[in-house]
Amino acid sequence: MDLATAGTKAKKLSIRIGIAAVLLLVVGSVLYTLVTLNYSYSKGERVGFVQKLSKRGWICKTDEGDLAMVNMAGQQAQMFSFTVRDDQVAKQIEDLSGHRVVLEYEEHKGIPSSCFGDTTYFVTAVRKTD
């Protein structure tokens, strides 16, 4: 094997390693994003009055809202910021505006981009409460 052949083989090998590294990075990023979006860190409910719900974002439009939670009359409300991924749930929240509601949510930690929502709390269901 001469020096030219060895150089050509080394160049081909380095190109293959580079392509494999890029593919591994892309596939790993996609898998990580899928895991963080599909598996929740925690689940729960919050009760209060929806203060706002708006569609926000430059490129990726998401429904973002705030829920005012008041324990006793005269107390300052604690705000709970949330994201709604489902348009049907966002419509239900809009229909129940002005009423006390229960928001069922899932918390997804480690989401790599704000394109999926500004918060880690994703509302999955809403219902009216007395």
Q: What pLDDT digit, counting tens, does each position of 66-95 carry?
A: 999 987 777 788 999 999 989 999 999 999
**Domain ranges for the chain:** 1-39, 41-128
CA–CA gap between residue 106 and residue 115 (Å, rounded): 17
Q: Indicate whether 3 pLDDT > 90.
A: no
pTM check: above 0.95: no
- DSSP state for residue 57 in the 8-state scheme: -
Q: By three-state DSSP, how is residue 33 classified?
A: helix
In CATH, the number for domain 41-128 is 2.40.50.140
**pLDDT given for residue 1 in this prediction:** 62
Distances (CA, A) of 52 to 15, 49, 93, 94, 98: 52, 9, 10, 9, 10
Mean pLDDT of 8-33: 91
